[in-house]
Amino acid sequence: MANLDSVEKLLKLAALACASVSVAIIAWYLIRRPPLGRLTKVLLLLGLGVMPLGVALTGNIAGYEYTLKRPFCGSCHVMAPYIRDAEDPKSQSLAAIHSRNHRFGEQSCYTCHADYSMFGAVTTKMNGLKHLYYYVIEYANTGPDGEGGPPIHLYKPMKNTTCTQCHSTEAPRWLATEPHQGMLADIRSGEMSCLNCHGEENVHPLALHRRAKTAQSGAGARKEARP
């Protein structure tokens, strides 16, 4: 994780350096207004083409890396209860336990909520745009934890592959757990969801608390749940 952080910082620095060079060239051109000679043309090609391209490339990668992190997910206020719980060192919820795992690190939200397939990253980011749309139209000015907005829920049921990418159904310790043995085929086929036993208040308890507050205020009841 430390390596990834330093790569992200390097990319950001590179993007800012490219932006500085670009701005310096453009400012020089706009202030001095030199004739369009060969040198000016080459300098402007650097300032208007090469350097902004560098900013876009490095900035895109740095931005994408940042979108995988927990602080990014928590930058919308409706996510505050989820993040508070995930970052609570005493919490025993699945979200908090996984967030404390150094293999997940700051990417704990993304690791469990990203689509696990070939184009998973793309579909996840498309869903992220959908989140932003709903955030703007439904959750603006809805209280510090978004309790005035409709309840938050997943767009589609959580797939078992999200859990089994780490908790292999072949692992001896997993197989030795008695309830797993009785429903092995169902778990592997996805007919039995992991969340049937490990879900609800085990995952995001503070989120359920928020939902209860939403129901009490009645504000969420006016809107139907989204598919």
Partner 1 sequence: MKHLQVKRLTYLAAAATLGAVGLMVLSIVSPKPIFLVLAMSVGQGLGTLSLAAYLLAIALDLNISAALADQVEEEVGEMLDEKSHE
The site for partner 1 (CB under 8 A) is made up of 12, 15-16, 19, 22-23, 26, 29-30, 36, 41, 44-45, 47-49, 51-53, 55-56, 59-60, 62-63, 66-67, 72, 75-76, 128-129, 131-132, 135
Shortest separation between residue 166's beta carbon and partner 1, angstroms? 27
**Whose Cβ is closer to partner 1: residue 62's or residue 86's?**
62
Tokens of 14: 């590179």
**Whose Cβ is closer to partner 1: residue 7's or residue 132's?**
132
**Whose Cβ is closer to partner 1: residue 128's or residue 143's?**
128
Shortest separation between residue 53's beta carbon and partner 1, angstroms? 8
Shortest separation between residue 37's beta carbon and partner 1, angstroms? 10
**In this structure, which amino acid lies at residue 28?**
W
In angstroms, the Cα distances linking 166 to 14, 21, 130, 173, 227 are: 35, 45, 28, 13, 28
Torsion angle, alpha carbons of 193, 211, 109, 226, to 10: 70
Shortest separation between residue 99's beta carbon and partner 1, angstroms? 20
Tell me the residue ranges of DSSP E strands in the chain. Answer: none
DSSP 117: S
Closest by CA to 78, choosing from 22, 134, 13, is: 134
**In this structure, which amino acid lies at residue 17?**
A
**Whose Cβ is closer to partner 1: residue 73's or residue 94's?**
73
**In this structure, which amino acid lies at residue 14?**
A
Shortest separation between residue 56's beta carbon and partner 1, angstroms? 5
DSSP 3-state of 103:
coil
**Whose Cβ is closer to partner 1: residue 45's or residue 221's?**
45
**In this structure, which amino acid lies at residue 222?**
R
